[in-house]
Structure 1
Amino acid sequence: MRTMKLGSSQLDVPVVAVGCMRINALDMTAAERFVGAALEQGANFFDHADIYGQGQCEEIFADAVHMSASVREGLILQSKCGIRPGMFDFSREHILASVDGILRRLKTEYLDVLLLHRPDALVEPDEVAAAFDELERAGKVRHFGVSNQTPMQIELLKQSVRQPLVANQLQLSITNATMITRGFNVNMENAQAVDRDGGVLDYCRLHDLTIQPWSPFQFGFFEGVFLDNPKFPELNAKIDEIAAKYGVSNTTIALAWLLRHPAKMQPVTGTTTVQRLQDCCRASEVHLTREEWYAILLAAGNTLP
């Protein structure tokens, strides 16, 4: 698996992250097989959140990987906090309590990366800073980042937070690519010109935040996958054509499309199927041409001005 630096840090990470949101759908034998297959592919970066399965996903992962001090050395663990039933919470108390729970469930003494999951309208940046300082000082978290945040929300945090923010996890796929397509619809009178994210793509590139695309195969907001979906005949025909050229699956090409972008993104997979995970990991070996990348973009229904 090809690796990259995560944001401005010196942490070497695989270019494909393994999302564990659905690992609680597997029995222990299947979970062990899945985690083992990921490690065999060099995909040792595992993405969690305290709300996935109400914490059950972290517990299952720890058992599936047979967590121990020696095993922990070969893993890169990321988790997220800040979502509570009916609200978001970036208070110092909630962040600290959440991390303690995450560490207990993962059976580890530290997280490599902690992300703030969804923007809290009542955020007090000084409280976030105090929590981050305490977590860093105690050795419980080594790197920090955000998820689903705009440039100005990040700037507000940075007024108080002294640690570099290394990642921003955002929804992005071939069919959910407005943060890309807006870039060449500047000053145009069409829907693709609407600024829905504050220029987050360019902001993250300028400030060395790694974008971690979540739901890289979804269209809409969890409406389904676009691969092999009759709603997207032209897109699938083009992806299948390019997949045949490289001798890989359509899953591999869809993820390679994200990896081809010069922002050096780290897509987060959501599959719990070993074969599909292997297909995702193969994307690190495929470098699409400029012509292929644009052909896929246009086949998804995007237009050039």
Structure 2
Amino acid sequence: MNHINLGKSGILGSEVALGCMRMNALSEKEAQTMIETAVEHGINFFDHADIYGKGESEKIFANALKNSSIKREDIILQSKCGIGDKMYDFSKSHILQAVDGILERLQTDYLDILLLHRPDPLMEPEEVAEAFSELQDAGKVRQFGVSNFHPYQVELVQKFVSQKLIVNQLQFSIAHTGMIDFGMHVNMKDERSINHDGGILEYSRLHDITIQAWSPFQYGFFEGVFIDDPKFPELNEKLGQLAQAQGVSKEAVATAWILRHPAKIQVIAGTMNPERLKKITEASKVSLTRRDWYDIYFAAGNDLP
């Protein structure tokens, strides 16, 4: 498994990370198997959020980790905060309280990375800055980032916080390619020329911010997985051809398609199936040519201007 220097912070995370949103659906024994499978196949990065399972995912993860032989210092823990009850909240008091809750549930003294989870229109960046400084000074959080932010929202936070924002977690998959479409359809009068995210892909590369791709196998907003879905016959045929040629799974090829991008995107795999996770981690073995990458892009229904 290859590793990515997250935002040039020196934190080296596996290029495939395990997203723990659905871990609340597992027993502690099942969660332990999931964590151990991840580590055995080269994953050292685990992504959480305080809203996942209303905190239960973090609790189950912590108990499962405690029952394993895996040491806390050998893994990277990331969590997110800011989504409340039908509102977003980036107030200083909420961030500090949320992190204390996260640390308690994860049974750890510190987070490697904390992300602000979806932009709060009522955000006071000065309060965010105060919260970040207190958390870092107390040794509770090492590094910081954001999730689902466009460039000017990142700039607004970065203007006030002294810490370098190193991560932006965004939805991205073969079937959710807005970040790429916009960049190729510049100045065209067609649907793919619409700028949905402010050029966040190029912005992130310019500012050394690592993009983390969530829902790497989803289409729409949690509408379903495109792997083996009859709605995507051409895509599955192309993925199957490349998978067979390289002796891996379709999941591995779909993951490798994201990893092939020079932005060095980190993939957040949210599966809670150990066997499927093994297939996904095979992406590190896959070599895609430029022709392969474009052919997959076209097979998903995309085009060039």
Partner secondary structure for residue 87 of structure 1: coil
Shift of 1:44: 1.5
Does residue 251 (structure 1) correspond to residue 251 (structure 2)? The answer is yes
Letter in 2 for 1:191: E
Aligned residues of 1:19 and 1:271 also touching (Cα < 8 A): yes
Q: Match of 2:26?
A: 26
- In percent, how many aligned pairs have the same letter? 57
**Take 2:134 and 2:254, find their aligned partners in 1: how far apart are those partners?**
40
**Take 1:69 and 1:283, find their aligned partners in 2: how far apart are those partners?**
26
Q: Match of 2:92?
A: 92
Q: Which moved more, 1:19-28 or 1:144-153?
A: 19-28
Aligned residues of 2:126 and 2:161 also touching (Cα < 8 A): yes
Does residue 207 (structure 1) correspond to residue 193 (structure 2)? The answer is no
**Take 1:37 and 1:69, find their aligned partners in 2: how far apart are those partners?**
12
Q: Match of 2:141?
A: 141
Give per-residue Cα distances to partners, 1:157-200, cap 9 Å, x unaligned.
11101100000000000010011111110100100000010000
Give per-residue Cα distances to partners, 1:204-246, cap 9 Å, x unaligned.
0000000000000000000000010000000110010111111
How do residues 1-305 of structure 1 correspond to structure 2 at under 5 angstroms? Answer: 1-66=1-66, 71-305=71-305
Shift of 1:31: 1.1
Aligned residues of 1:2 and 1:285 also touching (Cα < 8 A): no
Shift of 1:8: 2.2
Seen in structure 2, the aligned counterparts of structure 1 residues 35 and 70 have a Cα distance that, compared at 3 Å, is: closer
**Take 2:284 and 2:178, find their aligned partners in 1: how far apart are those partners?**
24
**Take 1:70 and 1:280, find their aligned partners in 2: how far apart are those partners?**
21
Shift of 1:69: 11
Shift of 1:287: 2.3
Letter in 1 for 2:173: S
Give per-residue Cα distances to partners, 1:122-160, cap 9 Å, x unaligned.
000000000000000000000000000000000011110
TM-score, normalising length from structure 1?
A: 0.98
**Take 1:108 and 1:271, find their aligned partners in 2: how far apart are those partners?**
24
**Take 1:164 and 1:67, find their aligned partners in 2: how far apart are those partners?**
35
**Take 2:155 and 2:185, find their aligned partners in 1: how far apart are those partners?**
25
Equivalences, count: 305
TM-score, normalising length from structure 2?
A: 0.98
Seen in structure 2, the aligned counterparts of structure 1 residues 270 and 291 have a Cα distance that, compared at 3 Å, is: same
**Take 2:142 and 2:285, find their aligned partners in 1: how far apart are those partners?**
29
Aligned residues of 2:32 and 2:67 also touching (Cα < 8 A): no
Partner secondary structure for residue 225 of structure 2: coil
Letter in 2 for 1:98: A
Shift of 1:71: 1.4
Aligned residues of 1:67 and 1:107 also touching (Cα < 8 A): no
Shift of 1:70: 7.3
Give per-residue Cα distances to partners, 1:237-263, cap 9 Å, x unaligned.
001011111100000000000000000
Aligned residues of 1:129 and 1:160 also touching (Cα < 8 A): yes
**Take 1:207 and 1:148, find their aligned partners in 2: how far apart are those partners?**
16
Shift of 1:24: 1.2
**Take 1:70 and 1:281, find their aligned partners in 2: how far apart are those partners?**
19
Partner secondary structure for residue 186 of structure 2: coil
Q: Which moved more, 1:278-287 or 1:267-276?
A: 278-287
Give per-residue Cα distances to partners, 1:36-95, cap 9 Å, x unaligned.
111111202000000000000000000111179971111100000000011000000000
**Take 2:204 and 2:67, find their aligned partners in 1: how far apart are those partners?**
33
Letter in 1 for 2:238: K
Shift of 1:26: 1.2
**Take 2:43 and 2:70, find their aligned partners in 1: how far apart are those partners?**
17
Letter in 2 for 1:116: L
